Amino acid sequence: MSVEDKTKKIKLVVLDVDGVLTDGQIVTGSQGELCKHFDVKDGLGIKMLLAAGIDVVVITGRRSAIVGARLRELGVRDVFQGQSYKKGAFLDLIQARHLDASECACMGDDIPDLPVLQLVGLSCAPADAVDTVLKSVDFVSSRAGGRGAVREMAEKILMSQGVWDDLIDRFYFHPDAPRFR
């Protein structure tokens, strides 16, 4: 099945954080984590997926108050932090939502993401993912993690499902429409 065909079936997008939504750098001080860098373009891509009725979920191995705050701001309801066994969290999630793995996309960048990437209908990676991941996914973004990779994936899904132009028109060219930002 082609990548285009796979994108048409997507109802849920699963994202990793470090190296996908961020550039992978973790800035810490004596009190712990100080900051992470998120790309606003990725944030808008997430909001557009949600507006199109495609749910977005985060499954990450680390715990971070910064991550929770940013994803709440974007409207992401389910953020599973501290998940060293991501496959288990994913299987529980799709069972609870009555979804088939083929209806899900995932973007990951490193070895801990592989078990989920191998199950989903559309596996994706940022351009700077580790080689093992790059060789095993359906779609590799032309952008690095934390630099618009999620946005590129979101646009690909939304365009293939035929809703991209409607989203742009509905949210940016009608004066009374709600705005993403």
Q: What is residue 180's predicted lDDT score, i.e. its pLDDT?
A: 56
Judge whether 131 lies within some domain. Answer: yes
Question: What pLDDT, in 10s, does the model give residues 27-80?
Answer: 777 776 677 889 999 999 999 999 999 999 999 998 888 899 999 999 999 999
Count how many domains the chain has: 1
Provide the token pair at 15.
Answer: 């994202």
Provide the token pair at 1.
Answer: 């099945």
Q: Which residue has the higher pLDDT, 180 or 55?
A: 55
Judge whether 141 lies within some domain. Answer: yes
CATH number of the domain to which 14 belongs: 3.40.50.1000
Whether 160 has a pLDDT exceeding 80, the answer reads: yes
Residue 18 assigned ligand-binding role: yes
Distance between CA atoms of 86 and 33, rounded to whole angstroms? 22
Residue 132 CB partners (closer than 8 Å, separation 6+): 111, 114
Judge whether 139 lies within some domain. Answer: yes
Residue 16 assigned ligand-binding role: yes
Q: What is residue 25's predicted lDDT score, i.e. its pLDDT?
A: 78
- Provide the 3-class DSSP secondary structure of residue 10: coil
Question: What pLDDT, in 10s, does the model give residues 73-130?
Answer: 999 999 999 998 999 999 999 999 999 999 999 999 999 999 999 999 999 999 999 9
Residue 23 assigned ligand-binding role: no
